[in-house]
């Protein structure tokens, strides 16, 4: 991949979920992020489930985000490697093994923005890591890494809510609960009482 145009075309041709391409998913995550940030001062947000740690640390989270152009690149292209690692199993279900690392590499080749690339490489961390793993990541993340990853993870969860059956579905609630635990943990590490 040499250009963003080539990358976008490959993402458009690869289905993320039924009826939504990888590129459309990235745009949706970006739109949800913008909706979250734009409306954070006027909570509650209709159709959103906002964790208490967002309300408690809202100002610290907002001032510690990366610039919007970096976040836009990250959110739109966070799954850009999926067309290049897609596998279909014997039941016809698609899988994208190691897609975060592949996406990071491909994005870096196309754009060269190291900050967006490292965020892309860490995209699944908050969704899938244990408490101990998060503690280890917090030793290498900057506060901007942590805040950007937290709020984009919340945006992505809400972007995917329809896929899970809505914000009242068991699947959404399970993923939200995990994000809530990681968010509390990360905010305590970065913004605890002694900070």
pLDDT score of 193: 60
Count of structural domains, the chain: 1
Look at residue 2 in the predicted model and tell me its pLDDT: 61
Q: What is the mean pLDDT of each run of 10 residues along the chain (195 residues)?
A: 80 91 96 93 80 94 96 96 92 91 94 94 94 96 98 96 88 95 97 68
Please report the pLDDT score of residue 45 as a whole number. 77
Place of tokens 């892309």: 120
Candidates 174, 155, 171; CA nearest to 163 is: 171
pTM of the model: 0.93
Burial class (CB in 10 A: 0-12, 13-18, 19+), 188: middle
Residue 70's closest CA among 6, 157, 142, 159?
142
At 95 the three-state DSSP class reads strand
Range of the domain at 174: 4-191
């Amino acid at each position: 991949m040499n250009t963003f145009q080539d990358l976008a075309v490959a993402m458009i041709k690869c289905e993320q979920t039924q009826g939504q391409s990888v590129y459309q998913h990235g745009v949706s995550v970006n739109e949800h992020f913008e909706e979250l940030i734009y409306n954070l001062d006027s909570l509650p947000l209709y159709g959103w489930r906002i964790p208490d740690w967002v309300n408690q640390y809202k100002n610290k989270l907002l001032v510690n985000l990366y610039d919007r152009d970096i976040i836009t690149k990250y959110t739109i292209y966070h799954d850009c490697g999926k067309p290049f690692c897609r596998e279909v199993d014997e039941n016809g279900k698609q899988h994208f093994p190691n897609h975060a690392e592949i996406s990071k590499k491909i994005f870096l080749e196309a754009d060269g923005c190291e900050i967006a690339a490292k965020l892309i490489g860490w995209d699944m961390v908050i969704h899938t890591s244990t408490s101990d793993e998060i503690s280890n990541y917090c030793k290498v993340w900057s506060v901007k890494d942590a805040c950007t990853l937290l709020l984009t993870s919340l945006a992505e969860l809400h972007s995917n809510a329809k896929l899970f059956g809505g914000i009242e579905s068991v699947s959404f609630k399970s993923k939200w609960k995990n994000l809530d635990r990681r968010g509390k943990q990360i905010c305590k590490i970065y913004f605890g009482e002694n900070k």
